[in-house]
C-alpha cells in the first residue's frame, strides 16, 4: 500500500472497501492506517488521509 500511496503524491485521501467476511484484508487495512467510515450491505468502507 505504501508504494501505491507514493506513486500518486498529489492524492490527499484514499477510499477503499472490502467485504466484512474478509478478515485478512480488514486487518491489513487497519494496520496500514485506514479508518473505518461505515459498514453497509456486507462491506466495510475505509478512508485514509495522507499527510504530505
Domain locations in the chain as residue ranges? 4-49
N- to C-terminal Cα separation, the chain: 16
Where residue 52 falls among pLDDT bands split at 50, 70, 90? Answer: low
pLDDT band at residue 2 using 50, 70 and 90 as cut-offs: confident
Q: Cell numbers 487495512 label which residue?
A: 29
Average pLDDT over residues 36-47: 98
pTM here is 0.83
Label residue 51 by pLDDT band (50, 70, 90): confident
Instruction: Name which of 21, 30, 36 is nearest 1 in CA terms.
Output: 30
- Nearest 5°: the CA angle 41, 45, 46 is 165
- Please state, in angstroms and rounded to a whole number, the distance separating the CA atoms of residues 22 and 49: 23
Q: What cell does 41 get?
A: 450491505
Amino acid at each position: 500500500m505504501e508504494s501505491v500511496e507514493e506513486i500518486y503524491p498529489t492524492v490527499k485521501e484514499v477510499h477503499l472497501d472490502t467485504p466484512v467476511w474478509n478478515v485478512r484484508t480488514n486487518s491489513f487495512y487497519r494496520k496500514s492506517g485506514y479508518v473505518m467510515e461505515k459498514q453497509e450491505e456486507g462491506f466495510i468502507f475505509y478512508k485514509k488521509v495522507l499527510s504530505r
